[in-house]
Amino acid sequence: MSEQPQTIVQPVPSADKPLGARNEANLQSAFATSPIYSGEMTDDNIKEYFQDNVMDATILNGLGLNSFNTEYADAPDLEEVETGGAGAPATPYVPNPSSPGVGSVSPSDQPAFEGSIPESGPEYGSGLGGTESPSSTSPSISSQKLGEYISGRSYQGSDGRS
């Protein structure tokens, strides 16, 4: 994530840069009907549009998805994942490694995995770990607003601290 503000619409006038500096009067003359120069398009209304239509939205008719809620309203609760045979995973985090049997490649023929699954260790990086359920982290992630991010964390408390 960038730690310095980036130009969206309204550039900061350059200081001590005679070569390549913008000539605002020439730009306004050349692009007189631009929504930037008419005041219709500002940094604030672009940020508001992005928050409303990207971060807090349900995207319809996407590429291969009929709808996608960017607030992760339907984030799965890993405690509710059904495990076992017939194509179900061995745990909410591990696919079923059992063979469906001689001559079959159908997941519906898989028996439940009876072996032992190693305990999950600490995953790379900081945070609550790789076994935290998306249903418990998604509300905090989706409630963030543009510009309120915390450097190095997904959200307040995501590193196990308040």
* Structural domain span for residue 139: 72-114+128-143
Q: Are 37 and 100 in the same domain? A: no
Judge whether residue 23 has pLDDT over 90.
no
Q: Are 137 and 77 in the same domain? A: yes
CA dihedral 160, 3, 125, 128 (to 10 degrees): 20
Query: Using 50, 70 and 90 to split pLDDT, how confident is the model at 65?
Result: confident
pLDDT computed for residue 123 by the predictor? 65
Contact between 79 and 133 under an 8 Å Cβ cutoff? The reply is yes
Q: Are 98 and 133 in the same domain? A: yes
Kindly report each contact of residues 22-28 with a partner whose C-beta sits within 8 Å and lies 24 or more positions away, as own/partner.
none
Q: Are 45 and 102 in the same domain? A: no
Query: Using 50, 70 and 90 to split pLDDT, how confident is the model at 147?
Result: confident
| pLDDT mean over 33-44 | 90
Q: Are 137 and 85 in the same domain? A: yes
Contact between 98 and 110 under an 8 Å Cβ cutoff? The reply is yes
Judge whether residue 66 has pLDDT over 90.
no
Q: Where are the extended beta strands (E) located within the chain? A: 58-60, 67-69
pLDDT computed for residue 99 by the predictor? 94
Return the structure tokens found at 160: 């196990």
Most trustworthy range by pLDDT among 64-68, 109-113, 119-123: 109-113
Residue 3, domain member (yes or no): no
Q: Are 80 and 109 in the same domain? A: yes
> What is the Cα–Cα distance from 125 to 138, expressed in whole angstroms?
19
Contact between 98 and 84 under an 8 Å Cβ cutoff? The reply is no
When divided into structural domains, the chain yields a total of 2
> What is the Cα–Cα distance from 157 to 11, expressed in whole angstroms?
35
Q: Are 50 and 77 in the same domain? A: no
The single residue listed with the structure tokens 């490694």 is 97
Q: Are 49 and 99 in the same domain? A: no
Residue 28, domain member (yes or no): yes
Q: Are 51 and 81 in the same domain? A: no
Judge whether residue 139 has pLDDT over 80.
yes
